[in-house]
Structure 1
Amino acid sequence: MIIPALLIVAGVRLCQKSRSPGQLPASSQPTAEPSSPPAPSWIEQVERLLDNFNLQETALAIGTKRQQQLRELDATLDKAALSPEERKINRRIMFAIGLAGLTITGTLGFPLLTLISVPILIYQAIPVARGGYDELVVQRKVGSQVIRTLFTGGGLALGYFWLSALDGVIFCSIEKLRFNVYNTSRGHLVRAIGEQFRAVWVQKGEVELEVPVEEVRVGDIVVVRAGEAIPVDGTITEGIASIDQHMLTGEAQPVEKSVGDAAFAATLILSGTIRVKVEKAGADTLVATIEDILQHTSDYTSALELKGKVISDKTVLPTLALSAVTLTVLGPTAALCTLSCHVGQGMRLLGPLSLLNFMNLAAKDDILVKDGRALEALQDVDTVVFDKTGTLTREQPHVVAIRPCASYTENEVLGYAAAAEAKQTHPLARAILQEAENRQLDLPLLDESAYEVGYGMRVEIAGHQIRVGSARFMEREGLLLSADLVQHQVDCYQRGYSVVYVAIDEAMGGAIELRPTIRPEAKRIIQRIRQRGLEVYILSGDHEEPTRQLAHDLGIEHYLAETLPEHKAKEIERLQGEGKSVCFVGDGINDAIALKKAHVSISLRGASTLASDTAQIILMDEGLQQLPRLFELADALERNMKGNLISLIAPTPILLAGLYLLNFRIYEMFVVGATGGIVCLTHAMWPAIYPPTTASD
């Protein structure tokens, strides 16, 4: 059904600029209308004039809260220019609204304006006719474009110019809404990692030169220090360092590396300084390989059609058949009225409108839904798969035990370690400092002139030489671990714990045991998900024992450890092959391929850039608190979409009864249609007026 009542609301709402930080691949964009013939020069002048309008982004377009969240994830958002397609749609809407005003004014008693508007209406109808021809002849199907072509042509042929003008505004509004829904996904995958490394330090003889990352070549020696991310793949030629690889491999514990070990792009140096001989740079790095896999992965979202379009296509033939019968019985005007009863146009508008409303509701709950179709797909999810490190656990571990040696106390061992780590920012240091703060320890001052960094550090504190670091560091310093400490290290490693050793002068002072910190909300969230009847899995790149232990602690039966990125994706495919609809929740670079493969992909704010760019949904509170709320919104969206369909179909019997029994014609159909349109619009907007409550409300 063509819904004239939506004209003003749609025009105001949709003329706003829909700023998007990225676009989907070409296959994911809404199908563009066939190109029209070259516009007359006066049309080009009008389009240039419309281009000068500054269509500002407002809450009516995508919501102020969602705008803010998008800006937080992409600092370049405000600087991004409108895409050519976006400008074209905006021009068409402004043009259609102006033409409708001109035509309606002419109909109200200014025939000269009508005379002026007719050739413009015909010009505006040419792309519509081409679309109908393409659908019928080229695609060999009868769809909504055929209906629209017949309706537009019939309106012009019968002299209902105002009706054709209104139809143009509504159709442009539909296209703008569909563009918003399709274009909120962020597709800058190649950009994701490259922007992290704008410049790097390269060893040239005796000096270090800062050069743009794109100028780095195989064979160069790159210098990377504590707190910096490694920009290339290569081999360490000098230095020792503790490296956090969890974003890439999923390993919870930092990895100690020295000369001869491999170093990978996008991993973070926690402590130490290394020189890396470049073996792969730019597009050849491991991270770039993952990006390439992503680019060539089948795009689920491009295959998912909006429900409104499906409904529209299924009602075309019955509408055409009824219109043909009406033509023979009641004449051409009545047949045109019958075409206006087609629900397709309304559903294709109300469906995206409902999606945008629920996307804005999600934003208010700290959930950024970048692709509205993911919210639809979430209704069908029966399996939720979690990454482990960074998703179910926090980046920072916590101290679980301190094993003092000789006559030292726990607080003495912890105090020396905390004093040595006071200026470090890596997760293990923060955990030790947090435990010292919890115990309210007064930390002694260290002599910074004796500060060294490698696998550990050597400092002077209160006349004592303190060494803090790994077992390998202690061995390098000539300090041997006792048999008990060696066994303790083996036990901790098997359980996925980290151990930091503390030496005081020339003797071992003790060991500090640290365990990955499970997110406090994780167990409760898992329980609520299982209460919905969903299966829960853990996929992790970490070792077997810590993954098994976490699954046990959270009550999760299914888990898979030591999983490479491509294997995570294959596991998702295996579950999908069993008929499951999979939602994957992850945060690392190694999760990106699995995020791309899943029916619905969710990441956390603060995750790797690649994961954030790939995921369809971002939990902005950096935790899992809002995951149940997300499922509740998906349920509410489904109810709203069903209500939209009912509200669209309900007026059709009234219109047909009026047409056949009460001799309704265009104006009467317009009044009834406008009333039905107001009801439909009110229902679609109802969630924005009265948001659905949570289960705990």
Structure 2
Amino acid sequence: MTDHKDNSASHDHHDAHHSHDHGGHDHGGHDHGDMVGEFRRKFFIILVVTIPIVLLSPMIQGFMGVDWRFPGDMYIVAALSTFVYFYGGWPFIKGAVDELKGKEPGMMTLIGMAISIAFFYSMAVVFGFNGEQIFWELATLVLIMLLGHWIEMRSISNASQALESLASLMPNTANRISADDEVEEVAVDDLQTGDLLLVRPGEKIPLDGKIVKGTSQVDESMLTGESVPTEKTTDDEVIGGSINKEGSLTIEVEKLMDDSYLNQVIEMVKASQASKSRTQDITNRAAKWLFYIALAAGIITFFVWISIGASIDTSIQRMVTVMVITCPHALGLAAPLVISVSTALSAKHGLLIRNRPQFEQSRNIDAVIFDKTGTLTEGEFGVTDVQTFGDMDEDAMLSFAATVENDSEHPIARGIIDEADRRSLELYKMKDFNSITGVGIEGTIDDKNVKVVSPGYVKEQKMEFDDDNFNTWSSQGKTVVFLVIDESLAGAIALADKIKESAKETIDQLHKRNIKAMMLTGDNQKVADYVAQQIGIDEVYAEVLPDEKAKKVAEIKERGLVVAMTGDGINDAPALTEADVGIAVGAGTDIAMDSADIILVESNPKDILGIFSLSKKTFNKMVQNLVWATGYNVFAIPLAAGVLAPWGIVLSPAVGAILMSLSTIIVAINAQLLHRFEME
């Protein structure tokens, strides 16, 4: 976005060029559908097989006070348990092998070891080893592990659902307008850049493009989080997947599917979910160490029980229980689930996270540096003040000025016309339009010569007027033009880059959080000071060239502040990269924002507050899950080892599996509670 180098009132308003570019956005989520189906299917099959294994177990029969034994019953149980071990336990065995191959033992290794010990020990008992088989515990252990993984996969799948549903937003067909104005239905994949499409009311817009004909309200809520339909007319950009609500639109295709806004969002969020956060790295290391602790605790438990005279059967049960209950299932799930939910949630609210570590860092921000144009301001001229010099009222004067400016494409002309529209003023009929080089423009209205001119013209013609307001506006860096009717001054109009309505509220909220608000702009000092004064900016750095912005950000960081830089991601790219957190604001529909860590779909600076809030809530959820998962293991290991055995409290491997799965479920539910987050 190009800041004004000089916006002073003394310049001819037709030389005051102003331009701005929109930078943009880069979808994601993992497809866990197959895994959800696999674990669900295995769970129900193993459930059916587990019932006869449990009922034929001598231990269970003794507990129930029945005797259903018959010759060869243990061979039937052994056969059923073999099926349970190899079919139901296969995901865990395979996972354990993969972990050991990669020299990264973890959750799957623990489960695989536990069920293997239970299976082979029980098989040894069936074929003559002195002890008591624990096939029923093997079956219930596998069953509960399958249930825990089913719940886990379904939780992750649900967390990614908001992102995966984005892909279904794109329609499969489109109404293409041929060279002879015939409308034909074609597959979206067959469209080419430059094709003209007809989008009727109620239809989805097939691809990103520009409106070449028509006006309508377009619902982009599923894409940008903006709940109110947006007014769209000729030359406005539209996003593929959004819904045309009212009038028919003719759209020229600008981007095909692979380059579309929606696809870039999908790819960006996928990359975000794949990028490991600092907290996630901690949990992965913790899971690895927990494996070694579990292995050591299991072996020590076995030898301690043997040493106090317990049977091998009892000692193995204690060892198996320790290994199962110490399994870092919940720990390994703690961060990924929260990350999955927060990424989906952020995309839903129009916050696209490219780098997770920087997103996590944003909860610690001390100062936010704002680029001015397009971030705090609209990036286009708007009327701020009007003064009349005669009997004519403001509305009549604006009608004359807007009528003359109506044939001009200049940004100042646009600002005056927009103000007339805002006031619902009617324009007059004009003839003899003429551009006066270096001065302004003129035309004839009701046989009167009407000019809109620069202050220089007024001074040259030695026209006298009350210049108090003019001097004040000039000191604020506003651009001032004069309306002259038949060589008599009728009034003055001051224009400036319009400050966004949400800017002041954003700064107020930052101050409430003890976060400094700074402005870094290439605009002149007067303009920057005026904007800063209006919205409460703490520090202003003006007339800074784009290549100097990064250096200025570095200087601010040297003060010991954790800094977020907000800008459009183009001229501000070096500064965005230099900041602790780079935030691209006003990203529009072009997501080429490699320099930003976080991208805001909307141009609303208030969304920055949403980043800080979501970052803090995400971090809190991670910490809660980590505390629960690790705290649970600290409590569970001695309990599983049998420290309470003298008091008759002994946990079986199956009960250990139940407690472990309960921990997993609590972690999963806690992560899902993040869905209650609301944007500020």
TM over 0.5: yes
The equivalent residue for 1:546 is: 527
Deviation of residue 514 (structure 1)? Answer: 0.8
Which of 287, 290, 305 is residue 312 of structure 1 equivalent to? 287
Alignment of 1:116-131 (within 5 A): 118-119=85-86, 124=91, 128-129=95-96, 131=98
Corresponding residue to 2:298 among 323, 330, 338: 323
| Letter of the 1:590 counterpart | N
Partners of 1:604 and 1:612 within 8 A in 2:
no
Q: 1:386 aligns with which of 364, 370, 378?
A: 370
1:139-538 equivalent positions in 2, closer than 5 A? 145-159=105-119, 160=138, 163=141, 167=145, 302=275, 304-307=277-280, 308-309=283-284, 311-313=286-288, 315-330=290-305, 331-342=315-326, 344-357=328-341, 366=349, 368=351, 370=353, 376-402=360-386, 413-422=397-406, 428-436=412-420, 442-447=426-431, 450=433, 457-468=441-452, 495-502=476-483, 504=485, 511-538=492-519
1:667 aligned to 2:654?
yes
Instruction: Supply the distance in 2 between the matched residues of 1:393 and 1:583 (Cα, whole angstroms).
Output: 18
Cα shift at 1:585:
2.7
1:40-59, aligned counterparts within 5 Å? Answer: none
Farther off after superposition, 524-533 or 594-603: 594-603
Contact kept? 1:147, 1:339, Cα under 8 Å: no
C-alpha separation in 2, matches of 1:692 and 1:343: 34
Are 1:558 and 2:531 counterparts?
no
Would you say the 8 A contact 1:595–1:611 is kept in 2?
Answer: no
CA RMSD of aligned residues (A): 5.3
Tell me, in whole angstroms, the C-alpha distance in 2 between the residues paired with 1:571 and 1:558: 12
Relative distance call for 1:667 and 1:468 in structure 2 (3 A) is same
Contact 1:399/1:513 (<8 A) preserved = yes
Q: Which amino acid is 1:105 matched to? A: V
SS in 1 for 2:41: helix
How far apart in 1 are the matches of 2:411 and 2:94? 60
Contact 1:358 1:687 in 2 (8 A): yes
Determine if the alignment matches structure 1 residue 91 to structure 2 residue 66. no
Change (3 A) 1:122 1:606: closer
Contact 1:384 1:584 in 2 (8 A): yes
Change (3 A) 1:118 1:678: closer
User: Is contact 2:476-2:529 (8 Å) kept?
Assistant: no
Deviation track 1:364-395 (CA, whole Å, cap 9, x = no partner) reads: 8x553546666533322222222211222233
Point out where structure 2 has 5 or more consecutive residues left out of the alignment: 1-23, 54-76, 120-137, 165-191, 195-209, 212-236, 238-267, 306-314
Name the SS for the 1:151 alignment partner. Answer: helix
Residue 95 of structure 2 aligns with an amino acid whose one-letter code is: V
Q: How does 1:69-84 map to 2 (within 5 A)?
A: none
TM-score (norm 2): 0.58
Match runs of 1:129-140 below 5 Å: 129=96, 131-136=98-103
Matched AA of 1:415:
S
Rate the CA distance shift 1:302–1:378 in 2: closer, same or farther, 3 A: same
Contact 1:309 1:344 in 2 (8 A): no
Following superposition, the deviation at residue 668 of structure 1 comes to: 1.5
| Counterpart AA for 1:550 | V
2:551 and 2:274 map into 1 onto residues whose CA distance is 18
Give distance in 2, aligned partners of 1:630 and 1:644.
21
SS at match of 2:378: coil
User: Mind listing any 5+ residue stretches in structure 1 that lack a counterpart?
Assistant: 1-72, 137-142, 187-210, 214-227, 230-265, 267-294
With 387-396 and 502-511 compared, the bigger mean Cα shift is at 502-511
Q: Provide closer, same or farther for how the CA distance between residues 572 and 101 of structure 1 changes in structure 2, counting only shifts above 3 A.
A: farther
Query: Matched residues in 2 for 1:311 and 1:482: separation?
Result: 81
Are the equivalent residues in 1 in contact too, given 2:518–2:538 (CA < 8 A)? Answer: yes
- Asked if the contact 2:106–2:288 (Cα under 8 Å) also holds between the matched residues in 1, the reply is no
CA distance in 1 between partners of 2:561 and 2:287 (Å): 28
| Cα displacement (A) at 1:559 | 2.7
State the structure with more CA Rg: 2
Tell me the alpha carbon deviations over residues 285-325 of structure 1, each in whole angstroms, 9 at most, x when there is no partner: xxxxxxxxxx9xxx999463334435535645444432332
Q: Distance in 2 between matches of 1:692 and 1:415?
A: 44
Deviation for aligned residue 1:482: 5.0
Partner Cα separation in structure 2 for residue 610 and residue 361 of structure 1: 19
Q: Pick closer, same or farther for the CA change 1:402–1:658 going to 2, 3 Å.
A: closer
Paired AA for residue 638 in structure 2:
L
Q: How many residues align?
A: 499
Q: Pairwise mapping of residues 679-694 of structure 1 onto structure 2 (< 5 A)?
A: 679-688=666-675
Which residue matches 1:20? none
Amino acid at match of 2:284: K
Q: 1:184 to 1:590 in 2, by over 3 A?
A: farther
Question: Cα offset for 1:166?
Answer: 6.0
In 1, the alpha carbon distance for the partners of 2:410 and 2:319 equals 73
- What secondary structure, in the 3-state scheme, does the structure 1 residue paired with 2:517 have? strand
Deviation, structure 1 residue 684 = 3.5
CA 1:413/1:153 → structure 2, altered by over 3 Å: closer, same or farther? same
Q: Is contact 2:404–2:452 with CA below 8 Å preserved after alignment?
A: yes
Specify the SS of the correspondent of 1:384.
strand
Query: Contact 2:370 / 2:376 at 8 angstroms: preserved in 1?
Result: yes
Shift of 1:90: 4.1
Call closer, same or farther: CA 1:432–1:620 in 2, change over 3 Å.
same
Change (3 A) 1:373 1:442: same
Question: What is the DSSP-based 3-state SS (H/G/I as helix, E as strand, rest coil) of the residue aligned with 1:431?
Answer: helix
> Compared with structure 1, are the counterparts of its residues 577 and 120 closer, same or farther at alpha carbon in structure 2 (3 Å cutoff)?
farther
> Relative to structure 1, is the Cα distance of residues 310 and 178 closer, same or farther in structure 2, using a 3 angstrom cutoff?
farther
Q: What residue in structure 1 maps to residue 49 of structure 2?
A: 106
Counterparts of residues 570-581 of structure 1 (less than 5 Å): 570-576=551-557, 579-581=560-562
In 2: Cα distance, 1:310 partner to 1:425 partner = 61
8 Å CA contact 2:386, 2:494 repeated in 1: yes
The question of whether the paired residues in 2 share the 8 Å contact of 1:152 and 1:167 is answered with no
For 2:632 and 2:678, the matched residues in 1 are separated by: 26
Write the distance in 1 (CA, Å) between the matches of 2:673 and 2:554: 38
Q: Report the Cα offset of residue 417 of structure 1.
A: 1.4
Mapped contact 2:382–2:415 kept (Cα < 8 A): yes
Change beyond 3 A, Cα 1:154–1:581: same
Asked if residue 600 in structure 1 is aligned to residue 581 in structure 2, the reply is yes
